[in-house]
Amino acid sequence: MSDIGKSLIVVSGPSGCGKDTVVKHILETDDRFVLSVSATTRAKRPYEKDGVDYIFLTKQQFIDGISNGDFLEHTLYCDNYYGTLKKQIEDKVADGKIVVLVIEVEGARNVKKVYPDSLTVFIAPPSLEELERRLRSRNTEDETTIKQRLFKANEELGFKSSYDYIVENNYVEQCAQSIIRIYDSNNK
Ligand code: 5GP
């Protein structure tokens, strides 16, 4: 079990902090790393692909998955379910990959409980104003959801000190490189 933990990087950060872009950069620049594709019940955004960005499930399918014990962790976030599938982790680690989980704070805490050797990294936005600007400029959420996510962001920022590392996302490439360096220095 501890070997699996050493092959996991858990990345969190408030909605709009740019964590998906940072992780995409990690995956593109270093092929040791792969993404844990989460399951969710939220609606697919136009640019997202099923099975690539998320595994999109109905609420019933997700609840069945919970009953079957398919999830390493799951949570309800802004009225939708999100969860990490055990199979995603186990198969990818068995393939010799380092698996990156991009999940919110409760999920991160739960993964760390199961795998204490996993590395947890919090991506912080330069400021709350910048976070709001990024969240609005991506144009993927309505006003109610934006407000809900900003509220949640404040809450999530309060948990950053419980992570192994906090990295500020001023520049995507630098932030991605910092995370790779942190992983390598912890696994020499
Ligand atoms: P979004 O809807 O913006 O893609 O994701 C909303 C939040 O859910 C983000 O903080 C994202 O990291 C988190 N999330 C995505 N997948 C999972 C998961 O499998 N488990 C948990 N706990 N959170 C997730």
% of the chain at pLDDT higher than 70: 99
Contact by Cβ (8 Å): 103, 84: yes
User: How far does the centroid of ligand 1 lie from the alpha carbon of residue 80, in Å?
Assistant: 9
Largest separation between any pair of C-alpha atoms in the chain: 46
pLDDT of residue 48: 95
Ligand 1: nearest atom to the Cα of 102: 12
**Does the pLDDT at position 188 exceed 90?**
no
For residue 102, the CA-to-ligand 1 centroid distance in Å is 7
% the chain with pLDDT above 90:
90
Span from the CA of 69 to the centroid of ligand 1 (angstroms)? 19
State pTM to two decimals: 0.94
The enclosing H or E element of 116 equals none
| 134-183 pLDDT tens trace | 989 988 889 999 999 999 999 999 999 999 999 999 999 999 999 999 99
Which residue's CA is minimally distant from atom 11 of ligand 1? 103
Q: Quick check: 99 pLDDT over 50?
A: yes
Q: What is the C-alpha to C-alpha distance for residues 76 and 106, in angstroms, rounded to an integer?
A: 10
Mean pLDDT on 6-23: 95
What is the DSSP secondary structure assignment for residue 27, as one 8-state letter?
A: H
What atom of ligand 1 comes closest to residue 20's alpha carbon? 12
Distance 3 CA to ligand 1 centre (A): 24
Torsion angle, alpha carbons of 47, 159, 38, 121, to 10: 90
pLDDT in tens, 57-71: 999 999 999 999 999
Whether the per-residue pLDDT at 2 is higher than 90: the answer is no
Dihedral (Cα; 59, 61, 62, 67), 10-degree rounding: 130
**Nearest protein Cα to ligand 1, atom 21:** 103
With vertex at residue 70, the alpha carbon angle to CA 69 and CA 72, rounded to the nearest 5 degrees, is 90
pLDDT value for 1: 45
